[in-house]
Amino acid sequence: MRADYVIIGSGSAGSALAFRLAEAGKSVIVIEQGGSDIGPFIQMPGALSYPMNMPIYDWDFKTEPEPNLNNRQLVTPRGKVKGGSSSINGMVYVRGHACDYEHWQESGADGWGYGDVLPYFKRMENWHEGGHGGDASWRGSDGPLHVSRGPRDNPLISAFETAGEQAGYQRSVDYNGERQEGFGPLEATIWKGTRWSTANAYLRPALKTGNCELVSAFAQRIVIEEGKAVGVEVLRRGIAETIHANCEVIVSASAINSPKLLMLSGIGPAKELAGHGIEVVADRAGVGKNLQDHLELYIQQACIEPITLFKYWNIFGKAWVGAQWLFTRTGLGASNQFESGAFIRSAAGVKYPDIQYHFLPIAVRYDGQAVAEGHGFQAHVGPMRSKSRGEVTLKSADPKQAPKIFFNYMSHEDDWSDFRTCIKLTREIFRQEAFDPYRGKEIQPGETVQSNDELDMFIRDHAESAFHPCGTCKMGSRDDFMAVVDPELKVIGIEGLRVADSSIFPRITNGNLNGPSVMVGERAADFILGTKLPVEDTEVWIHPNWQNSQR
C-alpha cells in the first residue's frame, strides 16, 4: 500500500488535510483505528454525552492520579472513530482570540499571527448567523465546515445574557468575529440538526475525489530510514504491514497519541526512550512535554420554574426527543444545548478574556447524569490560560499500551486564585435581577462554601477537564530545544515528517480547540502544496480601558 501522503488519524486536522491534498490531486491514505461514525449517538447533537463515554468510539484514556485534585484519575476522551474527536466532542466552535495567535508568533511560531490564520478560518467556515447578529465580513461563507447557532428558545438563555449586562459586562454578537469579550450566542459545528464533524465536512468529500483512501488499522510506529520518514507500520487484521509514503507522513493522532507515536518511532527525549529500549533517531526533549488543558467547574443553581431540560430527563422524555430527531432532525436532539456563553476578563490589567462560560438550562454532569435536585441550570466556567504544565510519556515500548498521561493540574499557585475568582464572578452573575423569577438555592458549590479553604476543597473535589489537551509536540523555531515542529509543522531533525493537530499549539487558545485544530490541518495542506492565503491586516476589539477595569 502506497500513497504520496500518509496521514495518521481522521480527526479534526487529519480529515481537513486529507481533503485539501486530495482536492489538489495528491494521492492520500488516511489511517484510522476507529470504525464507523454512523448512528444516532454520534450524529444526534443532543446525545453528546454518550459517545465520549463509549469505548467503541473512544480510546478510553485516563490520567495518572492528579495530586492536586485529591489523586483523582480524570477521563481523557479522544475519538477512536471516523472524524476523531470531532465525532465525540461537545461541538462548540471557537476560533480562539487574536492575541492567542500573536503569542504563538512571539514564542517562535513565525507566520502564525492572527493575520496569518484568519484567512484559513474563513476558508474552512460556512457560517450561519441564524438571526442572532454578527458581521459576515469576519466569517467564511462557503467552506466545508458548517457553523451554526441554536434556536435559543429557553428563557434561561436570555436571562443569562441579561444578567451579564446587569452585572456590568457587555454583549458580543459574535465572539468569533471582531469582538470575543462579552455575553452572547455560542456557535456549534451542527448543520440541519446533525453533528457536522470533520468526517462529514472533509473526510467523505475527500474519499469522493478518488484520490483518498481510508485504511482501518492501528498505527504502531513511523518507519524512518536514513533520517527520512518513508511509511507507517500498522497492525491490520492482526498482521503487521507497512503503508509507504512517497512524499511525507503526517501525524494527526491527537495531543495524546501523536507524541506517543513519535516516541515509539525513536523521536523524543533520548534518556526516556533509552529507558524503554527504543533506539533514538532524533533527540527532541519537547516530545510529550508542555501538556495543557482547560479545567472547569459546574456552578449549579436550582430553578423554581419547571422550564429546564430536566422535564425530558426520563425514559419517556428521552424517547420523545430521540424519535423527533430521528424522523425530522429537529427538536431538542438537534442542538447540543450549549446555546449561550461568555468570555470575560478576570481582573483589571488582563488584556483579553481569560475566563470562558458555557451556559446550560439544566443541572447535569458531563456524563449525562442529572443532579438529584431536579430542575436547575448551570454555568461551566474555567480559566483559559493555566500556567500548569504536564506531560505524556510512554509506559513501555509496546504500542498497544496506553501512554502515561499526567496533566499536573492545579500545580501553579495562580490556578487556585483564578478558580476562586471564577466562582465569585459566576455567583455574582446568578444573583442578578434577570434570574429573580427562576433562582432557587445554589446546588453547587452550595451557600455554605465561602472561605478560600472551603472553595479550594470544592475545586479539588469537583474540577473537571473540558477535554482540550494540547501542546505536546510544540511548534517553535528550529533553535528552540523544546520545539518539536518548525513553523511549517515539519518535525525538527527528520525529513518527510510533519505533525498537524492540537499537539503543535505552543500555548492553549481561548475556548474549545476543535476549530483551531481544523485550521491547523488547513494550513498544513498549504505548507505541503506550497500555497498560501494572503495575510489579512486587521485588528480585533480590545477593551479600551482594560488596564484599569475588569468589565
Tell me the C-alpha distance between 144 and 178, whole Å: 22
CB 274 within 8 A of CB 525: no
The cell for 505 is 499549539
Q: Cα separations (Å) of 272 from 224, 278, 315, 484?
A: 19, 9, 51, 16
Nearest to 249 by CA among 231, 235, 265: 231
Residues 46-75, mean pLDDT to the nearest whole number: 95
Q: Is this prediction's pTM over 0.95?
A: yes
pLDDT of residue 365 exceeding 90, the answer is no
Task: Look up cell 466569517; give the residue.
Answer: 139
Q: Binding site: residue ranges? A: 81, 89-92
Alpha-carbon span 345 to 84, nearest angstrom:
32
pLDDT mean over 241-269: 98
Q: Which amino acid is at 434?
A: A
Burial class (CB in 10 A: 0-12, 13-18, 19+), 544: exposed
Instruction: Evaluate if residue 136 carries a pLDDT over 80.
Output: yes
Q: Which helix (H) or strand (E) holds 250?
A: strand 239-251
Q: What is the CA radius of gyration of the chain?
A: 22
Quickly state the pLDDT bin for 367 (edges 50, 70, 90): low
Q: Which residues pair with 147 in a beta bridge?
A: 127
pLDDT of residue 156: 98
pLDDT above 90: residue 297: yes
Q: Is the pLDDT of residue 368 over 70?
A: no
Q: Which fold has domain 2-529?
A: FAD/NAD(P)-binding domain (3.50.50)
In Å, what is the CA distance from 102 to each residue of 115, 349, 351, 513? 9, 18, 13, 17
The residue among 107, 125, 124, 104 whose CA lies nearest residue 115 is 104
* 127 CB burial (10 A radius; 0-12, 13-18, 19+): buried
How many C-beta neighbours within 10 Å does residue 173 have? 15
Contact predicate 132/185, CB 8 Å: yes
Q: What is the pLDDT of residues 390-417, one digit of tens each?
A: 999 999 999 999 999 999 999 999 999 9
**Spatial separation of the C-alpha atoms in residues 53 and 32, rounded to whole Å:** 19
pLDDT band at 526 (very low <50, low <70, confident <90, very high): very high
Q: pLDDT-derived band of residue 494, with 50, 70 and 90 as boundaries?
A: very high
Residue 114 has pLDDT above 70, yes or no: yes
Indicate if 468 belongs to the active site: yes
**Domain residue ranges of the chain, discontinuous segments joined by +:** 2-529
Query: Which residues define the annotated binding site for FAD?
Result: 81, 89-92
Residues 307, 438 contacting (CB under 8 angstroms): yes
Q: Answer yes or no: is pLDDT of 366 > 70.
A: no
Neighbours of 417 (CB within 10 A): 14
Write down the pLDDT at residue 299: 97
- 488: buried, middle or exposed (CB in 10 Å: 19+, 13-18, 0-12)? middle
Q: What's residue 223's pLDDT?
A: 98
Across 8-26, average pLDDT? 98
Average pLDDT over every residue of 186-199: 98
Strands 355-360 and 497-499: unpaired
The full DSSP string for 48-117 is: TTTGGG-TTTB--EEPPPBGGGTTB--EE--B-BTTGGGGTS--B-----HHHHHHHHHTT-TT-SHHHH
Q: Which of 294, 358, 380, 468 is catalytic?
A: 468
Using 50, 70 and 90 to split pLDDT, how confident is the model at 491?
very high
The reported pLDDT for the residue numbered 373 is: 77
Split at pLDDT 50, 70, 90, the class of 364 is confident
| Structural element, H or E, at residue 465 | strand 464-465
Name residue, grid cell 489538489. Answer: 24
Strands 267-268 and 282-283: parallel
What φ, ψ does residue 84 adopt, rounded to 5°? 55, -140
User: What is the DSSP annotation of 166-209?
Assistant: HTT--B-S-TTTT--SEEEE-EESEETTEE--HIIIIIHHHHHT
* Contact present, 325 and 44 (Cβ < 8 Å): yes
Cβ neighbour number for residue 181 with a 10 Å cutoff: 22
